[in-house]
Chains A and B, each alone.
Chain A
Amino acid sequence: GQQLNQSPQSMFIQEGEDVSMNCTSSSIFNTWLWYKQDPGEGPVLLIALYKAGELTSNGRLTAQFGITRKDSFLNISASIPSDVGIYFCAGPRVRSQGNLIFGKGTKLSVKP
């Protein structure tokens, strides 16, 4: 079935660093979504990608929909403390009413 593999599982950032994470699948997705989840909250949509090759920005966040439709990446530039949290990639399951498949997440923490 459709699955999403995210990497890295976790990473530590220092304020001001750029961050990159990605998501791959063995099957094609027609829409790629990137969510952020803070502790005790539900996921919040950051960026939605609808077209292969599409590169979309939202402030300091940039995401790309891979040409093969089997991968996507998310970059965060000049990270700030409030960027910590868990980032999920997701996509709608094929032949569904839009129910989403999520990756396992990339946990962003601040370097001690």
Chain B
Amino acid sequence: GAGVSQSPRYKVAKRGQDVALRCDPISGHVSLFWYQQALGQGPEFLTYFQNEAQLDKSGLPSDRFFAERPEGSVSTLKIQRTQQEDSAVYLCASSLAAGSYNEQFFGPGTRLTVL
């Protein structure tokens, strides 16, 4: 497809379980962003990749959150020992270029529910 895709679309995890969320950006897009969107809120920045380099992880809420983009295309957001407060929609966005602002294209998100 031409857009950003994410999988799974829905994930239910028991508290304490590890989860992995996948993002396939638009082909050729240099920049990749992860955002977390709690219910009734706007998305909040988690982390940013330029190609395979993670240049900004200032938004990751704890060291249980880890992201990677080893070959500069697909990215995975991993959450270890999930907690109920991790329940949210996790959005991935990609943009063609790097630096300053370039239009970001969002995927449909993964809705994570932690029981």
Query: Hey, which bits of chain A sit against chain B, CB under 8 A?
Result: 4, 31, 40-45, 48, 88, 90, 92-93, 96-105
- Tell me the dominant secondary structure on chain B's binding face: loop
- Tell me the dominant secondary structure on chain A's binding face: loop
Q: Name which of B12-20, B39-47, B71-79 contacts chain A.
A: B39-47
How far is A48 from B95 in the complex, measured between Cα atoms in Å?
A: 15
A104 B93 Cβ-Cβ under 8 A: no
Interface size class of B (residues with CB under 8 A): 20 to 34
Query: Hey, which bits of chain B sit against chain A, CB under 8 A?
Result: 4, 31, 33, 35, 40-45, 48, 50, 55-56, 59, 91, 93, 95, 98-104, 106-109
A-B contact count (CB 8 A): 66
Choose from A41, A96, A102, A104 the contact partner of B56 (Cβ within 8 Å): A96
Closest Cβ of chain B: how far from A27's Cβ, in Å?
A: 16
Q: Would you list 9 pairs from A and B whose C-beta atoms are within 8 A, ordered by A residue? A: A42-B4, A97-B48, A97-B98, A98-B31, A98-B33, A98-B100, A98-B104, A101-B45, A105-B42
Closest Cβ of chain B: how far from A39's Cβ, in Å?
A: 11
Closest Cβ of chain B: how far from A3's Cβ, in Å?
A: 10
Task: Report, nearest first, the 10 A-B pairs whose CB atoms are least far apart.
Answer: A102-B42, A42-B106, A99-B45, A92-B101, A98-B101, A102-B43, A43-B106, A97-B48, A31-B101, A88-B42
Closest Cβ of chain A: how far from B38's Cβ, in Å?
A: 10
B56 A99 Cβ-Cβ under 8 A: yes
Closest Cβ of chain A: how far from B27's Cβ, in Å?
A: 18
- Smallest CB gap from B50: residue in A: A97
Apart from A42-B4, A101-B45, 8 more pairs, CB < 8 Å: A31-B101, A41-B109, A48-B103, A96-B48, A97-B99, A97-B100, A99-B59, A102-B44
Closest Cβ of chain A: how far from B6's Cβ, in Å?
A: 8
Closest Cβ of chain B: how far from A102's Cβ, in Å?
A: 3
